[in-house]
Amino acid sequence: MESFKIRLAMKNLLWIQGLSCNGNTQSILNAENPQIYELFSKINLLYHPSLSVENNVLDIVEDIYRDRLSLDFLVVEGAITNNKNFHKIGDYSIGEIIEKLKNKARYIIAIGNCAVFGNIPSLYKENKDIKGLQFKFKEKEGFLPSDFKTSSGYPVINIPGCPSHPAWFTQTIITLYYEKPLILDKFNRPKELFMYLSHDGCIRNEYFEWKYEAEEFGHKEGCLFYNLGCRGPITHAPCNKILWNRVSSKTRAGMPCIGCTEYDFPLRENYFETKKNIGIPEEVPLGVSKRAYITISGVAKTLKNERVSKKLEETD
Ligand code: SF4
229: left (phi over 0), alpha (psi -120 to 50) or beta: left
Residue of the CA atom closest to atom 8 of ligand 1: 199
Q: How far is the CA of 248 from the centre of ligand 1 (A)?
A: 14
Q: How far is the CA of 232 from the centre of ligand 1 (A)?
A: 5
Domains of the chain: 2-192 (3.40.50.700), 196-310 (4.10.480.10)
Neighbours of 47 (CB within 10 A): 19
Ligand 1: does its nearest atom lie under 6 Å from the Cβ of 199?
A: yes
Written as tens digits, the pLDDT of the chain (316 aa) is 444 444 445 899 999 999 999 999 999 999 998 999 999 999 999 999 999 999 999 999 999 999 999 999 999 999 999 999 999 999 999 999 999 999 999 999 999 999 999 999 999 988 889 999 999 999 999 999 999 999 999 999 999 999 999 999 999 999 999 999 999 999 999 999 999 999 999 999 999 999 999 999 999 999 999 999 999 999 999 999 999 999 999 999 999 999 999 999 999 999 999 999 988 899 999 999 999 999 999 999 899 899 999 999 999 8
Pairing verdict, β 71-77 and 43-47: unpaired
Would you call the peptide bond into 233 cis, given omega within 30 degrees of 0 as the criterion? no
Is the four-CA dihedral 157, 161, 167, 168 of positive or negative sign? negative
Q: Are 175 and 112 in contact (CB under 8 A)?
A: no
Q: How far is the CA of 223 from the centre of ligand 1 (A)?
A: 5
- Contacts of 46-51 with CB under 8 Å at 24 or more apart are 46/12, 46/13, 46/14, 46/71, 47/14, 47/15, 47/16, 48/15, 49/15, 49/16, 49/17, 49/25, 50/22, 50/25, 51/15, 51/25
